[in-house]
Amino acid sequence: MICLAAAGRRSHGVRVLVLNGPNLDQLGRREPSVYGQQTLPEIEQALHATAEALGLELRCVQSNHEGALIEALHGATDCDGIVINPAGYGHTSVALRDALLIADRPTVEVHLSNLARREPFRHRTLTADVAVGTISGLGAHGYHLALHALKSLLAPATPH
């Protein structure tokens, strides 16, 4: 699933890749008590509104396939920052971690649920230490906070 901000228009703002991992395409029906009622398209639509208000350009990618996520990171050379919810791959994928290192962009990791309150195997992610920060347990609001954080982090490096 790919969504692009500005429907073909190219802004001069900060470009952000929003990358969502496996099973996040099932939001709204997957354990709503844990992950909330919103679907991923609803979350992305709200993110576009936040991005527009912040002067950001978004590219959203979701895949249930590890290789597709890695390829999206390899193609992130036109992006200034990354928001990633690696989902289950965050706990298991050295390859996804390596792709984040290759992308070499400021990254904020987001998790809808509070990993510290989940099963022990979810308490640690392999990707967290390559991110500038992690937002966990705030539901979809975490994505909006991540956009604000990246805007703040990238603003000095962005020409006005």
Q: Which residues are catalytic?
A: 35, 111
Residue type, 22: P
CA–CA gap between residue 29 and residue 100 (Å, rounded): 29
CA–CA gap between residue 28 and residue 18 (Å, rounded): 19
Helix runs in the chain, H state only? 32-35, 40-54, 66-74, 89-92, 94-103, 141-154
CA–CA gap between residue 41 and residue 2 (Å, rounded): 10
Residue type, 9: R
Q: Quick one: which H or E segment has residue 59? A: strand 56-62
Pull the structure tokens for residue 129.
């230490």
